Structure 1
Amino acid sequence: MSAASLLAVCRVHQLLPDPEGSVGVTAIDKRPIEGPVKVHKLGVHGDVQASRIHHGGEDQALYAYSQADADYWSAELGRELLPGAFGENLRVAGIDASGAVIGERWKIGLDVEVEVTSPRTPCATFQRVFGEPQWVKRFSEAGRVGTYLRVIRTGTISAGDHIHRTFVPRHGITVGQWFTEPTVELAQALLDAEADGEIRLQEDYHPEIAKVMRRSGL
């Protein structure tokens, strides 16, 4: 299947004060690190999630963002957006993180394997740190949200590693589609894929799916 590359591996540089946030600090300040770095079930070794309520855990161990999307925002905002600018752990090229199919798997380097779980939902902290007016609205409407990843097999990765897409579920629903317009049809397709054992949905999907069904009177 297709190959891509890992441009940078990023982890928290420093905790920034965020008095308006739920825990008073944020770990969104991610910056590239050099050399091989271990990846475990909760993400990049040495990384931090300040609030585990909305970020982190095994289903959101890593956050990947595509260079193509970063380039789009650089043009829109008129400033360079280096790896880590979106709070991502992995800046990737040649693979569309926002267009990744829920449940698809990537092999990174020689031994790490990850699984696409869910889109990133932008929050007020992201807007405050990013410093752009109406940033949550703009980021959401563009649908260039990137994807969270579950670590299936731990190991070591480095900038420059190849990324190989090793499995793509038949349902074909991307994280971007689900984030932008979660319809009954998409919800049912995800439930069917999970029931068939093709994917394992992150727990957060089930209340979201229930809301979609209720809105449609189902």
Structure 2
Amino acid sequence: MSIQSIASSTQHNKTDFNQTLPLRIATLVEVRAGKAMPFAREQMSAIDKAPVKAPVAVNFMGLTTDEQADRRHHGGPLKAVHQLPTATYDKINAEFGLKVRIGTLGENLTTEALDDLPEMNEATVCIGDVFQYGDIDTNDSVQLRIVQPRRPCYKINDQIGQFTKVPNIAAWVSKQGIAGWYFEVVRDGMIAANLPVYLIERPYPFATLSRLWQLSNSKEKFAIDIIEPWLAIECLEESWKTVLAKKIRKD
């Protein structure tokens, strides 16, 4: 059963959904971390991530070997780990005629779908999803919960701008809603490439990241019954709720 079909079925019967899980959906292809280094505009950044070859510990702040130079806007418990679909690079490169490599945009995790299941991307993962990266029957496998999409910032422009003069790719990525997502850490543990990835919980099957981007980017207003379920998601980071609350139509 695909992630999307699971989501559809659970809208009608949450009990059946819970019985379906855990479900292995992917393999963790790469784990990446970065060190803060001199960057554009006379600042420091760890946006460029390199593969980690040995298992690395993950705690509530993220990978212990990963750095964030700007702690105000990056890192922390609600941005502990970043995952980005590799398709984002394919789309950027196709749109702008570039050859931006994986790891350039700051992601920590890269996965590959299992068998005929869909890839983990903004259309197939939801706010509140909990994933386990590691064997299902071990207690030291990391568990991560999606709490918000990533908001692309100017550093994406500066990072890609080292190789090209294409302006404001960050705005294009944001409009497309393909910036990946941030996890909070549900359970500490060790993480490494080639581990199995399991979907453990899906409490909000309606709350895909693509739908969140669609609502947030829309110039339209929406009926309160469309927005209210999002505001009731306890784990959704507060700034996104603020954006959504402003989208409620005043009838």
How far apart, CA to CA, are the structure 2 residues paired with 1:201 and 1:101?
10
Map of 1:107 onto structure 2:
132
Question: Which digits, 9 at most, give the CA deviation of each residue in 1:132-172, with x for residues without a partner?
Answer: 32202221222212111111001111111111111112441
How far apart, CA to CA, are the structure 1 residues paired with 2:238 and 2:199?
24
The structure with the largest alpha-carbon Rg is 2
State the one-letter code of the partner of 1:125.
Answer: K
Map of 2:26 onto structure 1:
4
8 Å CA contact retained: 1:109, 1:162: yes
Cα distance change, pair 201–89 in 1 and its aligned pair in 2 (3 A): same
Cα distance change, pair 133–204 in 1 and its aligned pair in 2 (3 A): same
Map of 2:250 onto structure 1:
217
Map of 1:197 onto structure 2:
none
State the one-letter code of the partner of 1:118.
Answer: Q
Cα distance change, pair 170–85 in 1 and its aligned pair in 2 (3 A): same
How far apart, CA to CA, are the structure 2 residues paired with 1:77 and 1:91?
22
Cα distance change, pair 175–163 in 1 and its aligned pair in 2 (3 A): same
State the one-letter code of the partner of 2:79.
Answer: Q
Map of 2:61 onto structure 1:
42
Superposed displacement of residue 114, structure 1: 0.3
Give the alignment of 1:53-64 within 5 angstroms: 53-64=72-83
8 Å CA contact retained: 1:12, 1:31: yes
How far apart, CA to CA, are the structure 1 residues paired with 2:70 and 2:227?
28
How far apart, CA to CA, are the structure 1 residues paired with 2:204 and 2:80?
24
Superposed displacement of residue 42, structure 1: 0.6
Q: Is 1:149 the counterpart of 2:189 in the alignment?
A: no
Q: Is 1:203 the counterpart of 2:238 in the alignment?
A: yes
Q: Where does the alignment leave 5 or more consecutive residues of structure 2 unmatched? A: 1-22, 114-118, 136-140, 217-221
> Could you say what the CA RMSD is over the residues aligned between the two structures, in angstroms?
2.1
How far apart, CA to CA, are the structure 2 residues paired with 1:160 and 1:122?
28
Q: In structure 2, which of residues 153, 156, 164 is the aligned counterpart of residue 126 of structure 1?
A: 156
TM-score normalised over the length of structure 1: 0.85
Map of 2:227 onto structure 1:
187
How far apart, CA to CA, are the structure 1 residues paired with 2:101 and 2:208?
25
How far apart, CA to CA, are the structure 2 residues paired with 1:113 and 1:98?
19
Map of 2:39 onto structure 1:
17
Q: In structure 2, which of residues 171, 174, 177 is the aligned counterpart of residue 137 of structure 1?
A: 171
How far apart, CA to CA, are the structure 1 residues paired with 2:110 and 2:129?
18
Q: In structure 2, which of residues 121, 125, 142 is the aligned counterpart of residue 97 of structure 1?
A: 121
Say which structure is richer in strand.
Answer: 1
Q: Where does the alignment leave 5 or more consecutive residues of structure 1 unmatched? A: 195-199
Give the total of aligned pairs. Answer: 208
Cα distance change, pair 85–160 in 1 and its aligned pair in 2 (3 A): same
Superposed displacement of residue 4, structure 1: 0.3
How far apart, CA to CA, are the structure 2 residues paired with 1:212 and 1:80?
37
State the one-letter code of the partner of 1:106.
Answer: F
How far apart, CA to CA, are the structure 1 residues paired with 2:105 and 2:156?
8
State the one-letter code of the partner of 2:245.
Answer: A
How far apart, CA to CA, are the structure 2 residues paired with 1:170 and 1:207?
19
State the one-letter code of the partner of 2:237.
Answer: Q
- Higher mean displacement: 204-213 or 52-61: 204-213
How far apart, CA to CA, are the structure 1 residues paired with 2:53 and 2:158?
28
Identity level (%): 28
Cα distance change, pair 157–207 in 1 and its aligned pair in 2 (3 A): same
